[in-house]
Structure formats: structure tokens, C-alpha cells
Amino acid sequence: MAQRIGLVAHDDKKDDMVAFARANRERLAGFELYGTGTTGARVTEGTGLEITLLKSGPLGGDAQLGAMIAEGRLDALIFFIDPLSAMPHDVDIKSLIRLAMVYDIPLACNRSTASAVLAAL
């Protein structure tokens, strides 16, 4: 069974996520990919990768990924965080990050760590 990766990016980091996915398209194609609504749609549009789309982050997508982590259905999370912007759904974001840490799954928050996570999987 293919390993499963969650993809999330804050608004100002969505272009970075698409660029990362383009640069790593062949490698990412070997995984089951899950993405929050807008991020997943943008990555699919920019790369042609097949991504299971969840709800938009503020509408529950972050919580859906968190539930997948808690249920053992996600093997890694790539979450491009914008540290310079306030997020109205900050509680959801913190919960998702906390679950990734509690369940000890690889968590990448920028391109450098995302490349390292892909290399390790």
C-alpha cells in the first residue's frame, strides 16, 4: 500500500506548495495524496497529480487531516505555514500540528523540510 501524505498551505504559501509539487511530481505520484480544498485543487491544477480533496482548511479540512492522523490513516504531513500572517482559524492549525507531533508522523513546514521528508519516505 502506498504511503499517505497530507498537503496544506496557507494562502501566501500556496504558490510555494505548487512549485514544490511540480519540482517533485514524479516522487509525489508514488504516494496517496490528500489535500485541503484550495491547496489540493491548486496542486492538482498545477501538476496533474491525483489528490483526494478534503474541505477547505477553515471549513474543516484541517480537522479532517487531524482525524486521519489520529486514526493512523496519514503517514506524513506537508504543511507550508506562513509565519507572518495571522490566521482566523489558528486553533485548528495548532490542533493539526499538535496531532502530527503526538502521533509522531513526519511534519514538514517549509520546502527544505518537505524535501527531507520526501527523501526519508
Q: At residue 67, what is the residue type? A: A
The answer to whether 62 is a known catalytic residue is yes
Query: Which of the following is catalytic: 62, 75, 92, 104?
Result: 62
Domain boundaries, the chain: 4-120
List the Cα angle 65/46/23 in 5-degree steps.
Answer: 85
Torsion of CA 69, 101, 75, 121, to 10 degrees: 170
Q: How much is the average pLDDT of 53-77?
A: 94
Task: Cell numbers for 13, please give them.
Answer: 504559501
Q: What predicted TM-score, i.e. pTM, was given to this entire model?
A: 0.93
pLDDT in tens, 14-64: 999 999 999 999 999 999 999 999 999 999 999 999 999 999 888 899 999
Architecture in CATH for domain 4-120? 3-Layer(aba) Sandwich (3.40)
Q: 79 pLDDT exceeds 70?
A: yes
**For residue 58, what pLDDT is reported?**
82
